Every structure is written in C-alpha cells, then in structure tokens.
Amino acid sequence: MSTKKPAYIQQRSWFWMSLVAKMSSDSQVQDKLVNNNRSRRNANDFIFGKLIGEGSFSVVYLAKDIHTSKEYAIKVCEKQLIVREKKQEYVKREREALNILSGTPGFLSLYCTFQDTSKLYFVMTYAKNGTLLQLLEKTKAFDNSAAKFYSAQILQSIEQMHNNKIIHRDLKPENILLDEHFHTMIADFGSARIGDTGADCNSSNDSEKEKSDSDSDEGNNRRKYLKHKRGSFVGTAQYVSPEIIKGKPSSRASDLWSLGCIIYQLVAGVPPFRGPNDYLIFQKITRLELEFPSDFDEGAKDLVSKLLVLDPKNRLGARDNSPYASIRNHHFFEATDFSAIRKAVSPVVHSSEGIVVAKDGSENDGFNFPDHITPGLDDKHLTRLMGLELGVSPDVPSSSSDVKSSTNISEIDRITKLEKQKSDLWHQFVEGELILKQGFVNKRKSALYVPRRRMLLLTSGPRLIYIDPVQMIKKGEIPWSAELKVEAKNFKNFFVHTPHRTYYLEDPKGYALEWCQAIKETYDKIYGK
C-alpha cells in the first residue's frame, strides 16, 4: 500500500512550510524577540492571558514570554479555516506588509512567527490601549484638538504605507490600535495591495467607464452587491471607497477616501455613511449621500468634503507625491507640527474627562497574569480563555419572562404593544414584529473568538436578531428551526445550537438563564414541548 500523501495535502503542507520559512528568514527580526535565540519558538514559550481581538480567521491573545516576561499580542490563525475559506493570500499579504513596516513608528512590529499542526502564530506588538474605535465609543466624539492629533498620525502612516508601495484598503477605527502613549498603530493588512500602487488612479478610461455605469439602477447595484458578497469585495462597508464597490481597481486614493471617513467619525462620533445593511450603505456611498451635523467643525467639513469625492483622481492629495502636501497644508491642520506628532502627548488622555481606555474598552487598570496559568495553548487553555471553566450547566430555575404573555395575546393587544414599541430604538430592525426580549450580549463567532458587543432581540417571528449598537447595523440572525436548542453554561454564558453552528453568547449582567427561558418558551409556542 502506498504511503504517499494526496496531492492536496502535499500542497497544503508546502504552503505552510514555505510561508513560515519566508516569515522567519530575517534573523534581525527574530532577534528582536530574544537575543541569541537558538531554537524556534512555540506556544509553550508563552503564557496566554486573555483574548484581545479577532479577525475573520484568527484570534489575538495577550501573552507573556516566559523567558523575558515581556508582553506581546499573538495572532493565532487556524490553518484549516484559512484553507477552507481560501484565505492563504490574505495570510501572505499580512506577513509581507508587517515585515516591510516592522520597526516603523505608527505600525505594529512583527517579532517572530511559528506554527504547530493546526495553527500559525504571529508574535506582534501589544497595543496596550486597544483600538481607536474603543476610544471613540468611550468619548462619543473628539474635540478639535484630538481629531487633528489622530488625523495627523493616521495621515502620516498612510504616507509611510504608500512610500512602501502598500495600499491598506481596509482602514477603519477598528484597525487602528493605540500604544501605551495612546499613539496610533495601523494593523490588519490581510486586504492590502502591495506593489504598483499608483498607476491605476490616473487611468484615462475610468471617466468614460463611469458614464456607462448606471448608479441609480437598482438592478445593477444589487448585482454588484451580490458579487462583492461572494468574495471580490475588500474592506468594510462604512469606509470602503466607491471605486472598490464598483469593482474598479484600488489605488492610493482609496486609502484617502477611508481617511476622510475616519476624520468624519472622529468629529461626529459616527461614520459618514450609515444604513441598516451593507447594500444600503453601498448605495449611499456610490451616490455620495453625505450629510454633516449642524455643529460639525467647518475646517474638518471642508477637508472631508475634498477627500470624499467619487472620482479618485479628484480627491485631495491624489495628485501629490507622498507626503501629501495638499492635505498637510489644509487649514484643518493649521499649526500641526507633523515632524513632532509622534512625540506629542495625546490630548484625549489629558482631557478634562480623564479618559483612559483599556484594550477591552474597560477602565485601564492593566492585566495581571495569574500565577497558576501554565504556558501553552491546548484545549484546557482555550476553555479558560473562553471563561467557561466554571463547571457544568446550572439548573437553577430562572424568573419567568414576559414571553408567555406576549405570545398569547389578542390581535388588539398586539397592535397596541406594537404601537408603543415604535418609540423603541430597536423597533426599526424587527420588521413589524413584537420584541419579546432584548438586551446587550457579548457574541462570539465561535468558541475560539473574542466576543463582540451586540444588542440581541428575541421577536415574535420567532427571530433572534443581533445588532451592532455602535454602527446601528443589523449584523445577522440566529436561524430558527425545530433543531434549535438553547443551553445555559453558567449564569452569564449560554449557547444557542443550530444544525450548522453553535452561537456562544454572554450576558454580562448574569441573566443567561432568563435568556434560555425566554427562547425555550418561544420555541415551545412554535414547535410544541
């Protein structure tokens, strides 16, 4: 019997070996982690403290080197998921961009990489103060000095990227991290374009092609949207440029569009283009449906209006050679010393509110690694990191919810409740159904992923809808069927099992049992006990 591995397994093994070999080839980068490193690192060289971030096929942990006690952010990529989702190129782009930009102020540094049989590990700079999005959530909006400070740092990083022939293509507050001084560090280069970054912006055929596009045609936009959802779209809806939405080539000006969106959000507290779903957001972008609050700073308004221009060639800075002098010289940045911006004190930290935000959005009192934690990242460690090591599911009865009374009412009472519900902020997402239960939960994409804060709505449909409360966008639904099952793990954590996926949910206030009771009562009403 032949012991030769099938071709696809050989190909996958070759990919991981070649990728890690390339990532580990620079001995100077490796020596940044440990001097005179004589053996390849592995997960047992680190204590994994807590989850601090997530991507589409990876999670990020705060970890401590057992040899030096230095803290790092370790991005852990699941090989099986990368192959299944065909994201190999994303991993390679991330590695290449990080290697190019490591050591440059304004970016994460990649210190080393290693792998085991199922995972690939990136050991990177630990951003002690989380993301710019978390800081915005805490402050709601920045004053003028803070908006200028962060806009200037981001612009400077964009210049560095473009000088190195890198277009990020997914710039957003969530991908901008904050170091111990609350200075920005750009991260997440999986969607980046590397090399040949400028020529396509000045294509002479673009304007004629745009004339043939019917932006107001609902059918054309729907087809474009569905095409993007199949995988050709890169970026995040609120910040993506119109040329990328239309399937045209990206350029350096695509990042300048994202800069305009970010400056708007720094000043207003919300992105410039908003809607209940990505499709409607895309329509607002391609039609440039842009409105400014009445109290929006006039200098920022003028700058944003010159960056958020549909034709990339006409955006402010698009015709500059980096650095972007026309943007730097805009009156919004008056008196800004770009040469000293990386040494300046963040105006947010020293504001009258005394705001200090941690990596998880809580008050920043640091994280202490418990003495009992052992190195490594096996199943036992993953269970601990999920916060589910408290034992078996509790069977303490929960207090009855209002679900029974809401599912057994007359039509007149239902209409009365619906009329009253219209004043509820979340009514717009339920399409005329009664909200039986609502509350903020932390939702995980899977057991290995860091939770995202969501508003969870249980409706009379029955439906379980989850909303991004910052962007005010419906992110998805937990599908109902006769096979749906709910399970309380403890007083905070509960699972909703469906035929194709388990949803990991946490009620931070400790009402997991009530959620399970409410979902079960709704299930019994529809499918019977």
CATH of the domain at 97: 3.30.200.20
Q: In terms of domains, do 117 and 182 share one? A: no
Q: In terms of domains, do 84 and 142 share one? A: no
Query: In this structure, is residue 365 part of a structural domain?
Result: no
How far apart (Å, rounded) are the C-alpha atoms in residues 379 and 362? Answer: 27
Query: In this structure, is residue 155 part of a structural domain?
Result: yes
Please report which confidence band the pLDDT of residue 346 belongs to, taking 50, 70 and 90 as the band edges. Answer: very high
How far apart (Å, rounded) are the C-alpha atoms in residues 262 and 280? Answer: 19
Q: In terms of domains, do 99 and 159 share one? A: no
Please report which confidence band the pLDDT of residue 515 belongs to, taking 50, 70 and 90 as the band edges. Answer: very high
Residues 266 and 332: beta-carbon distance below 8 Å: no
**Torsion-angle region of 241 (φ positive above 0: left; ψ -120 to 50: alpha; else: beta):** beta
Q: Is 362 helix (H, G, I), strand (E, B) or coil?
A: coil
Quick check: bond before 249 cis, omega within 30?
no
Task: Tell me the chain's radius of gyration from C-alpha atoms.
Answer: 25
Query: In this structure, is residue 193 part of a structural domain?
Result: yes
Poorest-confidence range of 80-89, 207-216, 231-240, 318-327? 207-216
How far apart (Å, rounded) are the C-alpha atoms in residues 271 and 238? Answer: 6
Residue 109 has pLDDT above 80, yes or no: yes
Helices (H) then strands (E): counts for the chain: 17, 16
506 membership: H or E segment, kind and range: strand 501-506
Structure tokens at 206: 């673009």
Query: In this structure, is residue 241 part of a structural domain?
Result: yes
Structure tokens at 354: 């005394």
Tokens 């199943």 locate to: 379
| Annotation marks residue 31 as catalytic | no
Residues 457 and 467: beta-carbon distance below 8 Å: yes
Q: What total of structural domains would you count in the chain?
A: 3
DSSP code string of 416-460: HHHHHHTTSTTGGGSTT--EEEEEEEEEESSTTS--EEEEEEEET
How far apart (Å, rounded) are the C-alpha atoms in residues 383 and 365? Answer: 24
Please report which confidence band the pLDDT of residue 268 belongs to, taking 50, 70 and 90 as the band edges. Answer: very high
Q: In terms of domains, do 116 and 137 share one? A: no
In this structure, the number of other CB atoms found within 10 A of the CB of residue 343 comes to 10
**3-state class percentages of the chain: helix first, strand second, coil last, to nearest 5:** 40, 20, 45
Query: In this structure, is residue 86 part of a structural domain?
Result: yes
Mind listing the pLDDT tens digit for each residue in 375-421? 998 877 776 776 554 443 434 333 444 555 555 667 888 888 888 88
Q: In terms of domains, do 446 and 464 share one? A: yes
Residue 237 has pLDDT above 90, yes or no: no
How far apart (Å, rounded) are the C-alpha atoms in residues 7 and 336? Answer: 58
Residue 120 has pLDDT above 50, yes or no: yes
Please report which confidence band the pLDDT of residue 324 belongs to, taking 50, 70 and 90 as the band edges. Answer: very high
How far apart (Å, rounded) are the C-alpha atoms in residues 478 and 484? Answer: 9
Q: In terms of domains, do 105 and 157 share one? A: no
Q: In terms of domains, do 60 and 146 share one? A: no
Burial status of residue 313 (CB atoms within 10 A of its CB: 0-12, 13-18, 19 or more):
middle
Task: State the average pLDDT for the chain.
Answer: 80
Active-site position among 65, 116, 143, 170: 170
From the list 197, 209, 296, the residue with the least C-alpha distance to 255 is 197
Query: In this structure, is residue 348 part of a structural domain?
Result: no
Q: In terms of domains, do 109 and 151 share one? A: no
Q: What are the phi and psi torsion angles at 311 (to 5°)?
A: -80, 115
How far apart (Å, rounded) are the C-alpha atoms in residues 101 and 113? Answer: 16
Q: In terms of domains, do 234 and 100 share one? A: no
Query: In this structure, is residue 462 part of a structural domain?
Result: yes
Question: CA 474: distance to chain centroid?
Answer: 15
From the list 114, 218, 87, 101, the residue with the least C-alpha distance to 168 is 101
In this structure, the number of other CB atoms found within 10 A of the CB of residue 99 comes to 17
Poorest-confidence range of 239-248, 271-280, 293-302? 271-280
The residue-averaged pLDDT of 109-129 equals 93
Domain boundary among 340, 367, 399: 340
Task: Write down the pLDDT at residue 24.
Answer: 47
- Give the type of residue at 18: S
Q: Which CATH number is 482's domain given?
A: 2.30.29.30
Q: In terms of domains, do 146 and 272 share one? A: yes
Quick check: bond before 499 cis, omega within 30?
no
Domain boundary among 323, 340, 357: 340
How far apart (Å, rounded) are the C-alpha atoms in residues 255 and 232? Answer: 18
In this structure, the number of other CB atoms found within 10 A of the CB of residue 462 comes to 18
Sheet holding 119-124, edge to edge: 46-54, 58-65, 71-78, 119-124, 110-115
- Pairing verdict, β 493-498 and 501-506: antiparallel
- Give the type of residue at 261: C
Mind listing the pLDDT tens digit for each residue in 437-481? 999 998 876 555 557 889 999 998 899 999 988 778 898 999 999
151: containing domain: 132-340
How far apart (Å, rounded) are the C-alpha atoms in residues 153 and 423? Answer: 41
Q: In terms of domains, do 466 and 484 share one? A: yes
Q: In terms of domains, do 312 and 179 share one? A: yes
Poorest-confidence range of 8-12, 116-120, 257-261? 8-12
Query: In this structure, is residue 345 part of a structural domain?
Result: no
Domain boundary among 90, 124, 158: 124
44 secondary structure, DSSP code: G
Q: What is the dihedral of CA 257, 259, 264, 266, to 10 degrees?
A: 160
- Pairing verdict, β 46-54 and 71-78: unpaired
| Residue 287 half-sphere exposure toward CB, CA atoms < 13 A | 16
How far apart (Å, rounded) are the C-alpha atoms in residues 69 and 491? Answer: 34
Q: Which CATH number is 277's domain given?
A: 1.10.510.10
Poorest-confidence range of 9-18, 116-125, 358-367? 358-367
How far apart (Å, rounded) are the C-alpha atoms in residues 495 and 446? Answer: 10
- Give the type of residue at 224: K
**Torsion-angle region of 35 (φ positive above 0: left; ψ -120 to 50: alpha; else: beta):** beta
The residue-averaged pLDDT of 62-69 equals 94
